């Protein structure tokens, strides 16, 4: 029923969860990590830009009898300082960024994050954002579309796919995930990535990043999160593609206040976890600790 949290054992170990200490889950989703922190006695502020996802997680936490130490707040983690201070979490022992998406968001959210279901081509996690994925694919010049595909997902076929999208939209407006996925698939060579991934995977990732300003928001949020940490407090970042991981790595090198790397190389899921949860396969986890002043 609920999304299986990635690298759960590692998250709990490296956040060093203590009873009554305060933690922020900056990407609450289905609340899988937050639930376990609460079970260990931690006090949690859960943030989610999607009010439906936040309510779903809050209901789950309530059903488990863990609401007493949980506070939920709707908002983007780029505003983490304001959201934390508004809810009494201006000095915390740990902050988690899990940059993946829950099964609910991917399959049942009806916003077009996945091409496995035929949904409106929206992709906005925050419905107040002005531009949808449909707006981008139907209006952007071919070169700009190709740049988005290449820059945000390393799609080597970006020029070819962008051209196919522009040709297709001349005949009919592209409105659903299935339409877009079929256009990309028809333009892809038969041996695309040796069959390891669907040809539309990287295009969908790139559009999602562009629509939600994901990379810019992460760059802005991490230093703001660091300012909320108590000395010895930790930030855990779980990323799912190289651009996110690169931002987390760079942040750790030049962060102010000063942070130290807890693990030299990013932690990866075990083969056992990948077998149980295939969506964990690309996860990388970095851990930073705030140095004593």
Q: Which of 168, 191, 212 is the last residue of a domain?
A: 212
* pTM check: above 0.85: yes
Same domain? 122 vs 149: yes
Same domain? 207 vs 233: no
Same domain? 100 vs 232: yes
Pick from 58-62, 179-183, 256-260: least confident: 256-260
Same domain? 98 vs 186: no
Tell me which residue range forms the domain holding 146: 109-212
Confidence bin at 254 (pLDDT 50/70/90): confident
The answer to whether 233 is annotated as binding is no
Same domain? 84 vs 115: no
Same domain? 253 vs 205: no
The answer to whether 32 is annotated as binding is yes
- Flag whether 160 is in a domain: yes
Same domain? 191 vs 228: no
- Tell me: pLDDT of 209 over 90: yes
The answer to whether 31 is annotated as binding is yes
Confidence bin at 278 (pLDDT 50/70/90): confident
pLDDT computed for residue 108 by the predictor = 65
Cβ neighbors of 76 (< 8 A, separation 6 or more) are: 47, 49, 126, 217
- Flag whether 1 is in a domain: no
- Flag whether 2 is in a domain: no
Residue 158 to residue 113: CA distance in whole angstroms: 19
The CATH number for 35's domain is 3.40.50.150
The CATH number for 168's domain is 1.10.150.170
Same domain? 193 vs 63: no
- Flag whether 250 is in a domain: yes
Same domain? 12 vs 80: yes
Residue 123 to residue 107: CA distance in whole angstroms: 12
pLDDT computed for residue 109 by the predictor = 67
């Amino acid at each position: 029923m609920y999304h299986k949290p990635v690298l759960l054992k590692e998250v709990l170990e490296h956040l060093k969860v203590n009873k009554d200490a305060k933690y922020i889950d900056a990407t609450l989703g289905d609340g899988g990590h937050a639930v376990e922190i609460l079970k260990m006695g931690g006090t949690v502020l859960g943030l989610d830009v999607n009010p439906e996802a936040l309510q779903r997680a809050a209901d789950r936490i309530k059903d488990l009898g863990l609401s007493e130490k949980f506070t939920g707040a709707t908002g983007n983690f780029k505003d983490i300082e304001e959201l934390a201070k508004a809810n009494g979490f201006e000095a915390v022992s740990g902050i988690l960024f899990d940059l993946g998406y829950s099964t609910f968001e991917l399959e049942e959210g009806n916003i077009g994050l996945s091409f496995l279901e035929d949904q409106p081509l929206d992709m906005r996690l925050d419905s107040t954002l002005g531009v949808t994925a449909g707006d981008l694919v139907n209006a952007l010049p071919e070169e700009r579309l190709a740049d988005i595909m290449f820059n945000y997902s390393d799609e080597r076929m970006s020029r070819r796919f962008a051209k196919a999208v522009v040709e297709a939209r001349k005949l009919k407006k592209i409105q659903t995930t299935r339409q877009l996925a079929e256009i990309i698939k028809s333009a892809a060579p038969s041996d695309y990535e040796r069959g390891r991934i669907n040809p539309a995977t990287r295009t969908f990732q790139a559009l999602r990043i562009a629509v939600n300003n994901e990379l810019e928001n992460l760059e802005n949020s991490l230093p703001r999160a660091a300012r909320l940490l108590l000395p010895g407090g930790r930030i855990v970042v779980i990323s799912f593609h190289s651009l996110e991981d690169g931002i987390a790595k760079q942040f750790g090198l030049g962060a102010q206040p000063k942070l130290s790397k807890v693990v030299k190389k990013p932690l990866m899921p075990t083969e056992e976890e990948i077998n149980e949860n295939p969506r964990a396969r690309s996860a990388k986890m970095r851990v930073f600790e705030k140095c004593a002043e």
